[in-house]
């Protein structure tokens, strides 16, 4: 496996599918794959022909989290490498929500640690009925620092602390019941469902979708009055959107 094919890209009309491709390692996030995911998301964002994105994994897992094989090099004695990797990981974890284009994750099998962060950080999530998601980092004496913000916001404080402190895994049914996953399907149907969702997004007015996604995440972090003000501003701007485009 070379660095060039750790991420596979295919287009379905205006939908771009990004597939993490280290199936023998359950798509664990080593530095080349982490960088490739970030580059792939940035390329999709910059491509005017792409209007929606699907993120998934090759093989029987979505992503097993950080590749622990690299940890022997990421030590206090190699602080520069530690900081570079932390910055890369933070950028890739924040990219799905900072994109103007909508993105759906399609999860089969395990989504663990950083993989769970990527899956839940997308705008929507489709899970196969064999999916399991969790944050077992403390079992390996690792603090799930770079996924903790998303973990709290997705699950709420009490459940989030349970997940990070015990390493308990959630199955597909629990993810749907909690409102974290949007759809549950048979494993063989999950990608098709994700592409169908993205295809629907791609038919939406691009400027309206961009404004809606931006406002959605902005108001989540604002006091009520400021959130309503932001909504009022976008409401006025959207009157100038064309019916197509």
Catalytic residues: 137
- Measure the CA–CA gap between 73 and 79, rounded to whole angstroms: 10
Torsion of CA 224, 155, 138, 28, to 10 degrees: -100
* Rounded alpha-carbon distances, angstroms, from residue 164 to 56, 116, 118, 122: 23, 12, 16, 20
Q: Whole-angstrom Cα distance, residue 97 to residue 34? A: 17
Q: Which DSSP string do the residues of 74-130 spell out, in sequence order? A: SSGGGHHHHHHHHHHHHHHHHHHHHSSS-EEEEE-SEEETHHHHHHHHSSEEEEETT
CA 235 – CA 91 distance, rounded (Å): 30
Six-digit token string for 74: 């990421």
| Short-list 170, 103, 132, 137, CA closest to 29 | 137
- Residue 57 neighbours by CB under 8 Å, 6+ apart: 19, 20, 21, 23, 26, 27, 63, 107, 108, 109, 115
Report helix, strand or coil for 52.
strand
Cα dihedral 68, 86, 97, 40 sign: negative
Q: What is the DSSP letter of 31?
A: H
């Amino acid at each position: 496996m070379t660095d060039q094919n750790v991420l596979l890209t295919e287009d379905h009309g205006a939908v771009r599918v990004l597939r993490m491709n280290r199936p023998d390692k359950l798509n664990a996030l080593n530095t080349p794959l982490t960088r490739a995911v970030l580059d792939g998301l940035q390329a999709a964002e910059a491509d005017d022909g792409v209007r929606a994105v699907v993120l998934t994994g090759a093989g029987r897992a979505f992503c097993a989290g950080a590749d622990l094989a690299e940890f022997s090099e990421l030590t206090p004695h190699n602080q520069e490498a530690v900081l570079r990797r932390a910055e890369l990981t933070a950028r890739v974890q924040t990219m799905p929500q900072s994109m103007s284009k909508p993105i759906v994750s399609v999860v089969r099998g395990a989504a663990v640690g950083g993989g769970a962060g990527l899956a839940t950080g997308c705008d929507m999530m489709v899970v196969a009925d064999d999916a399991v998601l969790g944050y077992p980092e403390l079992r390996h004496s690792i603090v799930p620092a770079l996924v903790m913000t998303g973990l709290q916001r997705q699950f709420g404080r009490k459940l989030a602390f349970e997940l990070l402190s015990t390493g308990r895994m959630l199955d597909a049914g629990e993810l749907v019941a909690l409102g974290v996953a949007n759809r549950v399907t048979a494993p063989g149907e999950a990608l098709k469902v994700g592409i169908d969702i993205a295809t629907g997004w791609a038919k939406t007015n691009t400027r309206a979708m961009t404004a809606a996604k931006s406002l959605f995440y902005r108001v989540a972090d604002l006091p009520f009055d400021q959130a309503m003000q932001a909504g009022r501003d976008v409401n006025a701007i959207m009157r100038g959107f064309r019916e197509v485009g």
